[in-house]
Structure 1
């Protein structure tokens, strides 16, 4: 998450669409009996445990699902079996090929002036250290921007350390300003002659478990072995640095690249009765980081959207358009599944009517947003009417959705954002603490109730949401 998605999400809150074409009531858009069915299913979903049972199953029977690992393959089998047992009309696999990244041993310690052990984890895609590790003096920078502005002399021959702290925000808006350090520190430090790179974890907790997440560089570019310290160990290192003495650290990271691997996007369709070749896209990513069991990131999104489509079919029937649930492959270290899907379907992007992704944990939904043609605003107003009993407002037409939809959004597909409370999300994100106990069944059920309203009305809408929208 999670990549730059939280930065994207923060841009849309509070934005209101002011332009309007002729406004139709919900009764003009949908038959009354259909709206009553959606209302009834919304209320029923609030006590339904289908999504929670899926989350429990995936985290218990498969567990951590790092892209390219044996559990990745097990998750694909799990997803196919679940789609079949839930009576989806069509189940398909689409290949996603990438180079595997494998985690290895991880150690860190302050050597001088005050010897202390440190908790560290490799950032995804990091190169390995030598077997003996990397030992060097710390070059401390408060932010990645400070490192970018530094001279080579300040960095050369040293281990770069970035100490910026992520701020806790309900909408996750503290993530964007902080996450650049995770993405770029190794690359920038290498370019300036550094010998190693470590960062404070991108998270809001005070636990001893560090946060992983992907670093970013292109093949052939300079980079360094890079790890993240737990926030409490970063605090410790900060306190040592305050003594204004040279600080020497040693760390080892055994993670490295493996061979090429093919995983799959797993797709379940509830086929449309009138427009089977037009799609409303929902889903979450099937992979996870390997430190926890991937409960909030993103077994929750998988369970929520699988349950949503299944319940609509069971209690309302076949939608006008196909509801396509995509469980995306290897989101975590590069949106590989998203990019492969777009490449395979770019000739029919205009058949992808609207999309939304659940990839921000297991918190309750508090707002709905869109990014669609103004002519479709009455549809979102109809959704907002049905969401009033859940106290969920529509917050405007400048919205964005999850990271796996970025390629399709850039290609012109309309998207919606179903915004979750992320106040505690970054306490657990990409850590060993991402486990099932963080998932509250009632909150998951509330998510499903909201997703039922969005998905049912989007799939039943006779018009469209626009295509070729500017990014």
Structure 2
């Protein structure tokens, strides 16, 4: 039966009223800081601010490689957004960052089955000769296997590390394989190799290669380094089953151009009674240049900025200052994070706790800490209200996130708000890191968790130091 527009309207009003009543009833179950935390959750889940910020960043700025022109555009964007949102303080701090230009990258099998391969240069790689680099490949299952190889077998060849990254909710597969990307070129060069290609550090089956930073070592030859898409790595394996000799040609033109000045962009909600004590929530503003930097780390920028805005707009500010830090140049070596720790060395004893959002936009399911073991149970009780947002209590082995990972060694407590990263490494560091990979509702759940966490920490009376030793 077709209902009249008036009937539909009254029905919607009734449902809305019932929903408001249920929300108010839920809020009345809590008092004090817990009631504020529930209110922050409800506001976050009903807000699109974080998604709007990520959309703005990825559309109006796009990819923003550290040291590039777009990097400074992103800094200007961040300063304007934070000021427009009304934070008590907005400022920027200079960071010296390496400048690396990707150039072009192509590869092909030249023998025995000529065909193109999909590759991307690894961040920081040197170029091949202009005429390209052609050599037989030698395959290794892992970086460890390469290190154990006979140098005579490797000399003059292009090393192929074929280590598959396993899919895990926690993303732990990445930590197992990423050494091949970051340290493989050095290990290969020490054995006499002339180049290296790795199976992309990713969990997808798309014909897209995953970039990411690699390192050279003083006194060891700098050889070109690239990543293959997973299907192309599979293709090389099938060729090696058919032939003892597979020859590839690499052509890459990346260049390094010294250093440039970028900035950590910082916003603050000034604490009401302990303004000199700091609860830090951060993300990194830079991205790789292949996609638009939506999940890595536009999502984090949106999450912590929107969380800070919710706290900024509270009728009564929390006791401690909540500091939102958008770090520079995380992708090329945690440069912004290291600079922040150095520049703020004199006030690190005033940092109550720190956390960073840098694992995409999957829902947060657990809250881990790294604090004084004796206070952990009380801290878990303090944050138990976050269970209403799907966040369970965790353990005491948090690292806090890349840009704050150096702070525990300097005595600063940290927390890790664990996100579901099941599909994160499908898109990580690829052209596929784009806005459509973000689910707005999941992003809002993250904002709720960070807002609750930051507020409760800013109000906490617990003594979190000295922190637990690293395990």
CA distance in 1, matches of 2:34, 2:336: 35
SS in 1 for 2:344: helix
Q: CA deviation at 1:57?
A: 0.6
Q: CA deviation at 1:150?
A: 0.4
Q: CA deviation at 1:381?
A: 2.3
**Cα deviations by residue, 1:137-194 (Å, 9 ceiling, x for unpaired):** 0111111111000011011010110111100001101111111110111111111111
Say whether the 8 Å CA contact 2:108–2:117 is kept in structure 1.
yes
Map 1:396-411 to 2 at 5 A: 396-411=395-410
Map 1:402-441 to 2 at 5 A: 402-441=401-440
Q: CA 1:404/1:317 → structure 2, altered by over 3 Å: closer, same or farther?
A: same
> Structure 1 residue 309 and structure 2 residue 319: aligned?
no
CA RMSD of aligned residues (A): 1.4
1:25 match: none
Map 1:51-450 to 2 at 5 A: 51-378=50-377, 380-450=379-449
CA distance in 1, matches of 2:138, 2:108: 16
CA distance in 1, matches of 2:378, 2:356: 19
Q: CA deviation at 1:319?
A: 1.6
Q: CA deviation at 1:369?
A: 0.8
CA distance in 1, matches of 2:378, 2:281: 17
Q: CA deviation at 1:342?
A: 0.9
Q: CA deviation at 1:290?
A: 0.2
Say whether the 8 Å CA contact 2:98–2:332 is kept in structure 1.
no
SS in 1 for 2:405: helix
Say whether the 8 Å CA contact 2:186–2:217 is kept in structure 1.
no
SS in 2 for 1:281: strand
Say whether the 8 Å CA contact 1:138–1:158 is kept in structure 2.
yes
Say whether the 8 Å CA contact 1:376–1:465 is kept in structure 2.
yes
Task: Tell me the TM-score normalised to structure 2 length.
Answer: 0.91
> Structure 1 residue 37 and structure 2 residue 24: aligned?
no
CA distance in 2, matches of 1:270, 1:298: 22
CA distance in 1, matches of 2:433, 2:223: 27
Say whether the 8 Å CA contact 1:380–1:394 is kept in structure 2.
no
Q: CA deviation at 1:468?
A: 5.5
**Cα deviations by residue, 1:369-424 (Å, 9 ceiling, x for unpaired):** 11111343355323542122233210122222211012212211101110000000
2:8 match: none
Say whether the 8 Å CA contact 2:383–2:456 is kept in structure 1.
no
Deviation >6 Å, runs of 4+: none
CA distance in 2, matches of 1:263, 1:423: 32
CA distance in 1, matches of 2:467, 2:440: 38
CA distance in 1, matches of 2:355, 2:315: 20
CA distance in 1, matches of 2:72, 2:119: 28
Say whether the 8 Å CA contact 1:283–1:305 is kept in structure 2.
yes
Task: Tell me the TM-score normalised to structure 1 length.
Answer: 0.91
Structure 1 residue runs without a partner (length 5+) = 1-30
SS in 1 for 2:245: coil
Q: CA deviation at 1:430?
A: 0.2
CA distance in 1, matches of 2:404, 2:308: 18
Q: CA deviation at 1:93?
A: 1.0
CA distance in 2, matches of 1:205, 1:383: 39
Say whether the 8 Å CA contact 1:187–1:216 is kept in structure 2.
yes
Say whether the 8 Å CA contact 2:103–2:253 is kept in structure 1.
yes
SS in 2 for 1:315: coil
CA distance in 2, matches of 1:297, 1:87: 25
**Cα deviations by residue, 1:225-272 (Å, 9 ceiling, x for unpaired):** 100001111111111111132000001111120132010000111111
1:48 match: 47
Q: CA deviation at 1:469?
A: 4.4
Q: CA deviation at 1:470?
A: 2.6
Mean CA deviation greater in 58-67 or 268-277: 268-277
Mean CA deviation greater in 291-300 or 348-357: 348-357
CA distance in 1, matches of 2:116, 2:443: 39
